[in-house]
Structure 1
Amino acid sequence: MPSTILSAPATPSEPAADTVRVAAPAKLNLYLHVLGRRPDGYHLLDSLVAFAGIHDILSVRPADGFSLEITGPFAALLLAEDPAGNLVARAARGLAAALGRDPHVAITLDKRLPVAGGIGGGSADAAATLRALALLWGLAADDPRPLQVAPTLGADVPVCLFGRTAYFAGAGEVVEPAPALPADLAVLLVNPGVGLNTRAVFQARQGGWRAAGRLERAPRDGADLTAMLRERHNDLMPPALALAPVVGEVVDALAAAPGCRLARMSGSGATCFGLFASLAEAEAAAGRLGAEHPGWWVAAAPFVADVHRLTV
């Protein structure tokens, strides 16, 4: 199915002469409703997606052949997997094939986000690969081929390529702009050191379907958005809890942190997030949670209005 992305940010058309470095930020599902299931088995979703200012870093440069180096604190899990299935490699080869050229690039992925964490790490990396190669290879701003490749890589890749606060629908192939997030909002992300397989979470889901939950209007401020989000849900949290009960401990710890407006799991887990009125409050809570749970990954960050404007 073709990707539907409205008002996607323009990609600069000037080719880069050397290394291109781009950020692959954490993707957060502020709510996630499961609306039904298609005949092909894919679930129909409705979600409000935002991006946090904590990210992997993707670097690409011209080379005589293709190579992928993975570094960073979460590199080991990816290095243990089959390289052929790596989303960065698939994105590079997919875009090269769409352009009718060889994928002669050297790619380095600095993996700073948890793997299988429900924050779109692999999808964000794939989207960053498409963006970086579009710059390296000098694609025109309106070249449709990165958008065409994105949905072939995974349900979250189109929204990560869009790179701004958005709704996504269908099985992830429909992406539409959402109202900008209020300025008085920061986020604290926590992963308990557990990865959850998305397919397993969907398979463990029980019960009926929920209606779409798009916001009825643009939120006035952070408190207003939080009130709207409380009326919405993450429908994958119950099955995630059944598979990894520690997710409930993380949500409870976030909810108990001073200043936390809302605590929720993102995506299919196991990463959870808390919303705060300021980055200072989120950082203070991060310090306390990190000290109390030294085995947890804890990171405070602002929200990012436009991933394409991030510099690394």
Structure 2
Amino acid sequence: MSGRYAAGLPLDDGNLVVRARDALRLEAGAQHAPPVAIRLEKNLPIASGVGGGSSDAAAALNGLARLWKLDIDDRSLARIGLSLGADLPMCLKSQPLVARGIGDEVSPLTAFPALGLVLVNPGIAVSTPEVFKALSSRDNEALPPLPKRLDFHAVRNWLTATRNDLEGAARSIEPAIGEALKALKRADAAFARMSGSGATCFGLFETGNVAKRAAIAIRARHPDWFVAATRSMEVSDGEA
């Protein structure tokens, strides 16, 4: 393992990549899944609410299925992924989508714009189980459907009308999440919200260049934080 956050990860089956390898080997049979060397470059904070570990595990499942030349379909791979975590099926798809249920019902989008984003984590890990324990209500209304035509303004307006039910619980555990949201708004994010179960927050910016400038400004004020400018994956009609 290498990368900024490698030191905080275990090398045994506490690591999702190792568990993904073992789960796929169990499915395929040891004779079809010989020993492999895997290198993990960990550049995202641990337990940060952006699905970093799940994405790594999904990449391991997809990569090993090809390397071992396994005769396994997407449904079976998603079933194995779900046994490792509720967000594995969507990470296996690795494209803009709508996820329902516990994350196992995924519907890829036929169109989605490339959005300028800034991710900010104030340097704290938040336990997802602890956040769910702190939830005051688990019976919340469903979110409204996405608008038919998606561009920057449509996505921003839709987000404004939605919510992250985990945010209040996470902020009660780690008030620093509020500081991350303030930093994004101070950097003129058109919209800011906590990602997943926290503590990472995201800001929406009209272009990638504006997002890059905002990330530089936030990093200058908070040099110890994780700050990254990025973009959402663009999908044009007919690509999904």
- Scaled by the length of structure 1, what TM-score is found? 0.71
Larger mean CA deviation between 93-102 and 137-146 belongs to 137-146
- Structure 2 residue runs of 5 or longer lacking an equivalent are 236-240
What is the alpha-carbon distance in structure 2 between the residues aligned to residue 263 and residue 225 of structure 1?
Answer: 12
* Distance in 2 of aligned mates of 1:115 and 1:180: 31
Deviations 1:167-220 (A, max 9, x none): 11222221122353224x211001110000000000011135222214243334
Q: For residues 146 and 94 of structure 1, what CA distance do their matches in structure 2 show?
A: 10
Q: CA deviation at 1:144?
A: 4.3
Whole-angstrom distance in 2 between the partners of 1:164 and 1:264: 20
**Correspondent of 2:211 among 266, 277, 282:** 282
Counterpart CA distance in 2 for 1:176 and 1:141 is: 20
Given that 1:251 and 1:264 are in contact with CA atoms closer than 8 Å, whether structure 2 keeps it comes out as yes
The answer (yes or no) to whether the contact 2:113–2:233 under 8 Å persists in 1 is no
2:149 is the alignment partner of 1:219: yes
Whether the 8 Å contact between 1:182 and 1:219 is mirrored in structure 2 is: no
Q: Is the 8 A contact 2:5 2:45 kept in 1?
A: yes
2:166 corresponds to: 236
Change (3 A) 1:200 1:244: same
- Structure with the higher fraction of residues in strand conformation: 1
Tell whether the 8 Å contact from 1:236 to 1:268 is kept in structure 2 after alignment.
Answer: yes
Q: How far apart are residue 287 of structure 1 and its match?
A: 0.5
1:297 corresponds in structure 2 to: 226
- Partner of 1:175, secondary structure, is strand
Preserved contact between residue 78 and residue 88 of structure 2 (Cα < 8 Å): no
More helix per residue:
2
Query: What does residue 112 of structure 1 align with?
Result: 43
For 1:246, the equivalent position in structure 2 comes to: 176
User: Is residue 2:123 matched to residue 1:186?
Assistant: no
- Alignment of structure 1 residues 16-95 onto 2, 5 Å: 70-79=1-10, 83-95=12-24
| Secondary structure of 1:199's aligned partner | helix
In structure 2, what is the Cα distance between the partners aligned to 1:218 and 1:261?
A: 21
Q: Over residues 7-54 of structure 1, what are the superposed CA-to-partner deviations in whole Å (9 max), with x where a residue is unaligned?
A: xxxxxxxxxxxxxxxxxxxxxxxxxxxxxxxxxxxxxxxxxxxxxxxx
Structure 1 residue runs of 4 or more that deviate by more than 4 Å after TM superposition: none
Matched, 1:154 2:96: no
Q: CA RMSD in A?
A: 1.7
TM-score normalized by structure 2?
0.91
Please give the secondary structure, in 2, of the residue aligned with 1:187. strand
8 Å CA contact 1:92–1:103 kept in 2: the answer is: no
Match of 2:238 in 1: none
Deviation, 1:118, is 0.1
Q: Is the Cα–Cα contact under 8 Å of residues 215 and 227 in structure 2 kept in the other structure?
A: yes
Residue 123 of structure 1 corresponds to 54
Say which of 127, 131, 141 aligns to 1:201: 131
> Quick check: 1:168–1:174 contact (8 Å CA) kept in 2?
yes
Judged with a 3 Å threshold, the aligned counterparts in structure 2 of structure 1 residues 172 and 216 are, in CA distance, closer, same or farther, namely closer
Gap runs ≥5 in structure 1: 1-69, 307-312
Taking only the aligned residue pairs, the percentage that are identical comes to 42
1:137-167 superposed Cα distances (whole Å, 9 cap, x missing partner): 1235746432221100001111100111111
Q: Classify 1:93/1:230 alpha carbon distance in 2 versus 1 (closer, same or farther; 3 Å).
A: same
- Asked whether the 8 Å contact 2:160–2:191 carries over to 1, the reply is yes
For residues 214-246 of structure 1, what are the alpha-carbon distances to aligned partners after superposition, in whole Å with 9 as ceiling and x for unaligned? Answer: 424333420111001100001100011000000
- Cα pair distance change 1:210/1:103, threshold 3 Å: farther
- Aligned in 2, Cα 1:158/1:278: closer, same or farther, shift over 3 Å? same
2:70 alignment partner in structure 1:
139
The residue type paired with residue 261 of structure 1 is: A
- How many residue pairs were aligned? 233
**Corresponding position: 1:177 with 2:108:** yes
